[in-house]
Amino acid sequence: MTCTQFLRPALATLIALGFSGCMVGPDYVSPAPEVPTELKYENRTAATSLVGWWTAYRDPQLAALIQTATVANPDLAAALARVDRAAASVGVARSELFPQVDFFTEAVRQRSSGNLTNPGTNASTRNNFDSALGLTWELDVWGRVRRLTASALAEAQAEADAFGYAMVLVQTLVAEQYFQIRTLDERIGILEQTVVGRKKSLDLVEVRRDSGLADDLEYYQARTEWSIARSGLEGFRRRRALAENALAILLGEYPSAFTLPQQLDWHPLLPPSPIAVSSTLLERRPDIAQAESLVKAASELIGARIAEYFPRIQITGDVGFAAADAGNWFTRSSLFGSLGPSVSVPVFTAGRVASRIDEAKADYAELLQLYRSQVFTAFQEVEDSLAALQFLQVQVTAQQDAAYSARAAADLAQQRYENGLVNYLEVVDTERTALNNALALVELENEQYVQQLALIRALGGGWQPPILPDQNDNNALLDSALNTAPPKPSANEMR
């Protein structure tokens, strides 16, 4: 049997093994942790949909701000770039499954030393003209490259999930800052009315003092309350300015270029909260999906490390033209070529391969526990928000009654003072109580918005798991990751 007769079937067999070889190492199994069947404070009433949740507030300005942040927030842009990079890494890993072909050419005039081999002989000069295609192809018999590709794909999935989580976070933070500003507008409105009212009271006390019906103590008490109200008003204006600056950054704008006009009559109804369903929580949250994707990437990497124990088989070859004369460079007689397999087997690595396997297993164990921790955190966040909303509803109802009663008492005390039935100290006490209760009510209402947004975030914010397309189709991957972006409001909605 000639060498050619032996080599052809051998190469065919090796190539067949490369396409249909086994994959050593563990196959990934989803952790599928046990989760509670019911939540302690589960909401079973009519609920807001998580998809496009911001529309439930019926606030076109809020929808416009979320749209702006979705396309302009720099943190989201950075997360999107990481998705693009991870998708490109999949292509890099996947390329090793295919033959690598390189082209080489040179035209060299070489002079050899006359004293190198036979001292005293004349030096010789010759020309080399070479052009060749080189082939290198690793046959993935043990699945090493396929495992690395699967690991890279899982990491790309994790980055897409991370982008989804960043989007949900930015959207809810925009809404939170917006509601904070609007409730500060309410408090500013209350303080502005209070300043006007206390200035009138101060003027009244001053008139009564000039008439001998009030003393200096009442005058200075009235002046103190007026000054306290003015100080409190400026404090809320300061807080509003800082909240507006924070919102500008979320929108990808400089604070100096962004202004949200004051809106004292803003008072939307709080929509029903989304329903929290225990059985679907793991499917809704992008951060949990990201954690599991990282577990899968680590699992696939274990197999790639185990494959390093086995022989690596490569097919190498080249074909081209070589001549000493440029005129004969591309003639038939100058044609040369080679093709054949090469095998490398690890014999002694001083424990390197075993250590890399142990390292991969440790990474897998760590990421698995981090995934479990993320699941626990998710359920805690949902339970916390549901509990807060349940108790806040009762608290707000009671505070509404307290604010109404305190205002009525303050009005009554003012009337009695004007009729000379009580001293000004009673007016001061009742006015202070009325103001504190009015501000406390607005604070609790703002906390309802904050906790509802926390629940929306804890439930995944309407995120849909991105389905990774072909590993080389980066644009489709990014489009899939962007599926939670809100629609741009129409001109009619903005009016």
pLDDT at 274 over 90: no
Position with higher pLDDT, 36 vs 427? 427
Tell me, yes or no, whether 159 lies in a domain: yes
| List of residues 6+ apart from 34 with CB closer than 8 A | none
| pTM given for the model | 0.84
d(CA 495, CA 492): 5
Tell me, yes or no, whether 396 lies in a domain: yes
pLDDT at 3 over 50: no
Give me the pLDDT at residue 319, please: 92
| List of residues 6+ apart from 188 with CB closer than 8 A | 233, 236, 237, 240, 262, 264
Tell me, yes or no, whether 235 lies in a domain: yes
Tell me, yes or no, whether 293 lies in a domain: yes
Position with higher pLDDT, 42 vs 255? 255
Best mean pLDDT range from 67-81, 107-121, 208-222: 67-81
pLDDT (average), residues 434-461: 94
How far is residue 290 CA from its own chain's centroid? 10
Tell me, yes or no, whether 413 lies in a domain: yes
Tell me, yes or no, whether 318 lies in a domain: no
The domain of 389 spans 22-96+140-313+352-485
pLDDT digit string (tens) for 131-161? 999 999 999 999 999 999 999 999 999 999 9
d(CA 194, CA 230): 9
Tell me, yes or no, whether 236 lies in a domain: yes
Give me the pLDDT at residue 61, please: 94
478 band by pLDDT with thresholds 50, 70 and 90? very low
47 band by pLDDT with thresholds 50, 70 and 90? low
pLDDT digit string (tens) for 327-350? 888 888 889 999 989 999 999 889
Give me the pLDDT at residue 463, please: 83
* Domains contained in the chain, number: 1
Tell me, yes or no, whether 78 lies in a domain: yes
pLDDT digit string (tens) for 220-264? 999 999 999 999 999 999 999 999 999 999 999 999 999 999 987
What is the CATH number for 274? Answer: 1.20.1600.10
Give me the pLDDT at residue 123, please: 59
d(CA 415, CA 404): 17
Chain-wide mean pLDDT for the chain?
Answer: 85
